[in-house]
Amino acid sequence: MVKGMKKGEKGFSLVEVVIAIGVLAIVAATIVTYFAWSFRVFGYVDVKATAESLARSQMEYIKAQPYSENGTYTRIDLGSFPGYDIPWPPSVDNVTSGLQKITVTVIRTYFEEPGEQRTENVTLEGYKLNR
């Protein structure tokens, strides 16, 4: 009888302990994989949300400017958003006299893994009316 154990008590066998550790390792690996995946997804969503916000800001900035017959507008400063770019000038199509369709695209360039450059684009279309 093992010291400290009462008569009739049984401990865990080595096989039971090894099986329990194996099950625990599988569960832990699944949880760690899920967290790694969720951080990647949340990072992707954050990039898209920031790009969309910048596109909306640029569109509102253009709409606040005086109407330009030739579609010449100024852009917002992206100094505090490194890695994001708004190709300039935006696409401006004269739909009819006094109505322009404006397309703003925001490009985010980043490295997901070392040496693997990726780009994400967000395009926003709106209309500007000569009032």
Better-predicted residue by pLDDT, 96 or 111: 96
Domain for residue 5, yes or no? no
> What's the domain range around 41?
14-129
For residue 128, what is the enclosing H or E element?
strand 116-129
d(CA 54, CA 51): 5
39: confidence class by pLDDT, cuts 50, 70, 90: confident
Domains contained in the chain, number = 1
102: confidence class by pLDDT, cuts 50, 70, 90: very high
- pTM (2 d.p.): 0.69
Domain for residue 8, yes or no? no
Residue 70 has pLDDT above 90, yes or no: no
Domain for residue 85, yes or no? yes
Residue 108 has pLDDT above 60, yes or no: yes
> What's the average model confidence in pLDDT over 40-58?
89
**Does the bond joining 89 to the residue before it have cis omega, within 30 degrees of 0?**
yes
